[in-house]
Structure 1
Amino acid sequence: MSDSSTRPSSLINTVYGAFVRHLGGWISIADLIVLMAELDVDGPAVRSAISRLKKRGILEPERQGATGYRLSPAVHAIFDEGDRRIFGSLEPANLSDGWVMAVFSVPESERAHRYQLRTRLTWLGFGNTAAGVWLAPGRLLEDARNTLERLGLSDYVHLFTADYAAFSDLRTAVSSWWDFPAIEAQYEAFTGTYAPIAARLAEQSAIDPTEAFRAYVPMLTQWRRLPYLDPGLPAELLPGDWNAVEARRVFQQLHELLAEPSLRHVRKVTGSEAP
């Protein structure tokens, strides 16, 4: 499991975010091991991943008749933000909505914060236009504000809303501010893996909940990185053959097919079946 999207900790994050969070936020370690076994992750790997997530402050131990783990209250806002990015509008931004610009200057004595800012702005979907100047579609303003405040980085950054006025061709400039080939490679990998699965499942009259779970969790784990790497730039600024369109279609199709039966499966395993 060398791909970060299939690491046990990544899959467990998805299980908590997509299911456990909506079933009270707690799951026994025994039930989690059962679910992860269906994703080809064995018990020792689950326990090791849980230990790492606990050290990172994502999970907290809690006993409810059995040993288990609950999502830390500190990460609820992060998961809510993830929902907005992952399941929100899959359409490109409108050029008329303008831009959010982040400008920062960090003293050399605090250069670790400079690296953290660059990393976090990249993860939020910002493109680097010049030293200390980063740009993203205007609809990412609140996500940027909330994230920078949560990480204690807001003292180093000024956020502006902006419109592009002159002097370059914006479409050409944008292609140098974002790494389009790298983003397209991620979309190509996603579509190549999951388009055949979507086509096969669409032909089935009913989808077995266990099969749905086995397909949905790895798919969602791979997908959830993409809305962060791709800021959803306006369509008129993108390459004509931008492959995000097909990847989004595949994701939406699989989400609609698999999310509900996957949840039914988790309810059954955890004994929290709906009345």
Structure 2
Amino acid sequence: MTLEKQLLNLISKVEEIEGKELIKIYEVMGYSPQIIRNLLTKLKKEKYIDSINRSIYRITPFGKEVQNSLYFKRDLYSKHWDEKWYIVLIEIPEKLRKKRDIFRRKLIQYGFGQLNKSVYIYPWDITKDVMNIIDTLEIEDFVTILASNEFLLNKISKEGEKGANKALEIWNIEELNNIYKEKFDQFENEFKSGINNLITNQYPDDLTVFIYYLEVGKIINELMDIDPMLPPEFLPGSWVGTKVLSELNRLYKLLASIIPKESFYSNFVEKDL
């Protein structure tokens, strides 16, 4: 979903954009024109974008809503947790198995941990997004959502605590920690040298800077997609996620800052960095 997510985000930044401009950008990143055309067709079929003329695209109101929901995790590490848990109970019948599987997959993507086969839990309030999925799938009769700041038995264990429901196990934190390390090592091997060269170059090429900006943004999104972004008290002392994201975001902002304001590509840079 990451490339689709990035495409949708780019289209959302301008009133309209020609397909050939998007193809030009992604060809430099190694994607064939057909891949980008196929993704644009898919986004259009799913009503996220439409085309006012042949090969000229704009985001739809529905696409804006979806695009905003895809980035809800962006600020979670800076938020104060109110110690409330959001719990989703699923009793979707076998005859609706396809919808059940889609819903479960969505909850995991949002960051929910699976407490048991039919119970999912998350420390952040994203009930609006969950309700949108429930409405879309038409499964409201089979899902219950609770909010509570109290466990009478087997609470979610914080780092160093004993208990049946260990956060480290529910969310596979050690595995995720290793993914962060591997992704950052890969980033340093593939992109760090090129970024440093751009930063020291007095007149870097706008498109080249923008491509690196997109590559860094893609890595950030890939990591945020799989990171539940738990409150710090549930994370181990060895946790590298926040450090990695902080460094990637620093470089992301730095690359954005060296794209000239008069450049065509400045239209697609996050304005609130």
- What TM-score, normalized to structure 2? 0.79
- CA distance, structure 2, for counterparts of residue 37 and residue 113 of structure 1: 36
- CA distance, structure 1, for counterparts of residue 248 and residue 239 of structure 2: 16
SS in 1 for 2:125: helix
Cα distance change of structure 1 residues 13 and 126 upon mapping to structure 2, 3 Å threshold: closer
- Whether contact under 8 Å (1:117, 1:153) holds in the other structure is no
- Whether contact under 8 Å (1:198, 1:254) holds in the other structure is no
Alpha-carbon RMSD:
3.0
SS in 1 for 2:145: strand
Find out whether 1:103 has 2:89 as its counterpart.
yes
Matching residue of 1:163: 149
Cα distance change of structure 1 residues 92 and 235 upon mapping to structure 2, 3 Å threshold: farther
Shift of residue 204, structure 1, vs aligned partner: 2.7
SS in 1 for 2:47: coil
- Whether contact under 8 Å (2:86, 2:146) holds in the other structure is yes
Structure 1 runs of 4+ with >6 Å offset = none
- CA distance, structure 2, for counterparts of residue 266 and residue 105 of structure 1: 53
Report the AA paired with residue 85 of structure 2. W
Shift of residue 116, structure 1, vs aligned partner: 1.5
Which whole-Å deviations, capped at 9, do the CAs of 1:208-236 have from their partners, x for residues lacking one? 43222111212222322333422221211
- CA distance, structure 2, for counterparts of residue 265 and residue 45 of structure 1: 29
Find out whether 1:51 has 2:45 as its counterpart.
no
SS in 2 for 1:225: helix
Shift of residue 109, structure 1, vs aligned partner: 1.7
- CA distance, structure 2, for counterparts of residue 243 and residue 191 of structure 1: 10
Map 1:111-260 → 2, pairs under 5 A = 111-168=97-154, 170-171=157-158, 173-195=166-188, 197=191, 200-201=195-196, 204=200, 208-260=205-257
- CA distance, structure 1, for counterparts of residue 150 and residue 31 of structure 2: 49
SS in 2 for 1:181: helix
Map 1:23-42 → 2, pairs under 5 A = 23-24=14-15, 26-42=16-32
- CA distance, structure 1, for counterparts of residue 266 and residue 148 of structure 2: 50
- CA distance, structure 2, for counterparts of residue 261 and residue 148 of structure 1: 43
Cα distance change of structure 1 residues 238 and 128 upon mapping to structure 2, 3 Å threshold: same
Aligned pairs, how many?
A: 256
SS in 2 for 1:23: coil
SS in 2 for 1:110: helix
Moved more, 114-123 or 258-267: 258-267
Report the AA paired with residue 21 of structure 1. S
Cα distance change of structure 1 residues 198 and 145 upon mapping to structure 2, 3 Å threshold: farther
- Whether contact under 8 Å (2:184, 2:244) holds in the other structure is yes
- Whether contact under 8 Å (1:97, 1:138) holds in the other structure is no
SS in 1 for 2:78: coil
- Whether contact under 8 Å (1:92, 1:235) holds in the other structure is no
Cα distance change of structure 1 residues 113 and 192 upon mapping to structure 2, 3 Å threshold: same
Find out whether 1:76 has 2:69 as its counterpart.
no
- CA distance, structure 2, for counterparts of residue 216 and residue 195 of structure 1: 14
Report the AA paired with residue 227 of structure 1. M
Shift of residue 84, structure 1, vs aligned partner: 3.0
SS in 2 for 1:102: strand
Shift of residue 83, structure 1, vs aligned partner: 3.2
SS in 2 for 1:90: helix
- Whether contact under 8 Å (2:213, 2:252) holds in the other structure is yes
Structure 2 runs not aligned, ≥5 long: 268-273
Which whole-Å deviations, capped at 9, do the CAs of 1:157-178 have from their partners, x for residues lacking one? 2111112434447135212211
Shift of residue 36, structure 1, vs aligned partner: 1.8
Map 1:5-16 → 2, pairs under 5 A = 5=2, 10=3, 13-16=5-8
Cα distance change of structure 1 residues 221 and 154 upon mapping to structure 2, 3 Å threshold: farther
Matching residue of 1:91: 78
SS in 2 for 1:101: strand
Which whole-Å deviations, capped at 9, do the CAs of 1:160-214 have from their partners, x for residues lacking one? 1112434447135212211223422332233223356458539637554322211
